[in-house]
Structure 1
């Protein structure tokens, strides 16, 4: 804990996980002070639990139905996103997609489309808008007709992908398996532009 908490205190999360971390840290402090061994401390921990992630589970709620969720601290967003953080975040919550749609003006009557996207819960809509600013392209939209409200940052325009998205990930690679997705995605973009040229 003496490594994890100082690290994320000095380099805080930017998404809604920032709030979860702050509440989780308070639980760790209660446990270290042995407050969890008291009834009052135990119920205080349950109040934090009810405010973290998806909240209190139905199983726990069955036994502790009167738990009141703790107040969530304010979440702060930076003015600009750090490029290394962006690549790391995309490694967890973003993706590079290819899909095929009918296209009457193409010889095979189908066209390959490329899309760069990031998905988050609706709570992080303001964060998605920072991606608009960072890449200087794309769109942010809210999903409808789903049980869990979500929002998406999407870049589908070929020129924007070539001019804004690819240069970023060439300079700041994704440091997990999604880097392989990116390489395939980039190769498809190159093939598409070569065929159109």
Structure 2
């Protein structure tokens, strides 16, 4: 379209708006009112296959993954746990399930996101043994390329400290504080 300069005509703009109708949230009320005769394009159905390249998953996590160090303090105790999570739009539930299959761990949870987005699937791994035996080795072998590698470093350090037998549990707090404050 750009090479043929179609985008600079009214017909080209209408064609672009038709394409936009199939992307993310579709057309805004304003666009629908401004261009009432738009021929909408059907959203392609994407059925993810098997994940075959670990680098694809690393890139996906670089963009949409989270390494959480969760702290909870009550009057009588403190708890710390780790959570690895990826959240997507509801239309990507099958993709989240393929990540469970590929990594051999985790679970997909559905939660309400926003009224516009509806339910959003979360792929999550909470179990400390699973984090230490599957998630951490995967990302040590297949390196994250973004600033998220710093989050992973803190996450890994917290995991090591949490695996120390009772009595060594107080050492985690600097890592949790740094992770919560944006490194």
**TM-score, normalised relative to structure 1:** 0.75
Cα deviation for residue 37 of structure 1 reads 4.4
Alpha-carbon distance in 2 for matches of 1:72, 1:78: 18
For the 8 Å contact 2:50–2:102, the answer to whether it is kept is no
Match runs of 1:1-197 below 5 Å: 30-102=1-73, 109-144=77-112, 146-147=114-115, 148=117, 149-196=119-166
Cα deviation for residue 85 of structure 1 reads 1.0
Other structure's SS at 1:70 match = coil
Counterpart of 1:11 in structure 2 is none
- The answer to which of 51-60 and 79-88 deviates more is 51-60
Counterpart of 1:6 in structure 2 is none
User: Which ranges in structure 2 are unaligned for 5 or more consecutive residues?
Assistant: 169-183
Alpha-carbon distance in 2 for matches of 1:164, 1:144: 28
* Count of aligned pairs between the two proteins: 165
Other structure's SS at 2:13 match = helix
Alpha-carbon distance in 1 for matches of 2:113, 2:54: 33
Q: Deviations over 1:92-145 (max 9, x none)?
A: 0001001123579xxx61110100000000100000001101111111011137
Give the helix-richer structure, 1 or 2. 1
- The answer to which of 36-45 and 86-95 deviates more is 36-45
Other structure's SS at 1:69 match = coil
Alpha-carbon distance in 2 for matches of 1:190, 1:128: 27
**TM-score, normalised relative to structure 2:** 0.80
Alignment RMSD: 2.2
For the 8 Å contact 1:50–1:67, the answer to whether it is kept is no
User: Which ranges in structure 1 are unaligned for 5 or more consecutive residues?
Assistant: 1-29
